[in-house]
Amino acid sequence: MLDRRRILAGLALAGLGTTAITTCVSSTLWAAASIKPDDASALLVIDVQNCFLPGGSLAVKDGEQVVPVINRIAKGFANVVMTQDWHTGGHVSFASVHPGKKPFETIDLPYGKQVLWPDHCVQGTDGASLSKDLSIPHAALIIRKGFHKDVDSYSAFTEADGKTTTGLAAYLKARGVERLFVAGLATDFCVAWTALDARKSGFETYVVEDACRGIDTQGSLAKAWTDMAQAGVKRIQSGDLAV
Please state the closest distance from residue 239 (CB atom) to Zn ion, in A.
30
Determine the interface stretch with ligand VGL among 15-23, 28-36, 185-193, 231-239 (rule: CB under 6 A): 185-193
The smaller minimum CB distance to ligand VGL, of residues 79 and 194, is found at 194
* Known catalytic residue at 47: yes
In the list 186, 208, 224, 241, the residue contacting ligand VGL (rule: CB under 6 A) is 186
| Residues 6+ away with beta carbon under 8 Å from 221 | 187, 188, 214, 215
Shortest Cβ 186–ligand VGL spacing (Å): 4
Nearer Cβ to Zn ion, position 85 or 159? Answer: 85
Q: Kindly state whether residue 85 participates in binding Zn ion, applying the rule CB under 5 A.
A: yes
Which one, of 189, 185, 193, lies nearest residue 210 by Cα? 185
Q: Which residue(s) pair with 84 in the sheet? A: 144
Q: Which does 185 bind (CB under 5 to 8 A by kind): Zn ion, ligand VGL, none?
A: ligand VGL
Q: How far is the CB of 20 from Zn ion (least distance, A)?
A: 46
Name the segment binding ligand VGL (CB under 6 A); options: 64-72, 73-81, 182-190, 220-228: 182-190
Q: Any alpha helices (H) in the chain, and if so which ranges?
A: 4-13, 18-24, 66-74, 168-174, 192-200, 220-230
Whether 190 is a known active-site residue: answer yes
Distance CA 181, CA 236 (A): 9
Contact set for ligand VGL, span 36-65 (CB under 6 A):
47, 52
- C-beta of 73 vs 190, nearer to ligand VGL: 190
Measured distance CA(226)–CA(206) in Å, rounded: 14
Closest CA to 217 of 93, 46, 60: 60
Element (H, E) at 235: strand 234-236
Footprint (CB under 6 A) of ligand VGL, residues 107-146: 117
Task: Clarify whether 85 is annotated catalytic.
Answer: no
Q: Is 166 exposed, middle or buried (0-12, 13-18, 19+ CB in 10 A)?
A: buried
Per the CB < 8 A criterion, the answer to whether 181 and 69 are in contact is no
145, 188, 197, 212: which is the annotated catalytic residue?
A: 145
Closest C-alpha among 197, 199, 208, 200 to residue 157: 197
Catalytic residue, chosen from 51, 85, 119, 190, is: 190
Under the binding rule (CB under 6 A), the answer on residue 156 touching ligand VGL is no
Name the site residues for ligand VGL (rule: CB under 6 A). Answer: 47, 52, 85, 117, 154, 185-186, 189-190
Q: Write out the catalytic residue numbers.
A: 47, 145, 190
- Applying CB under 5 A, the residues found at the interface with Zn ion are 85
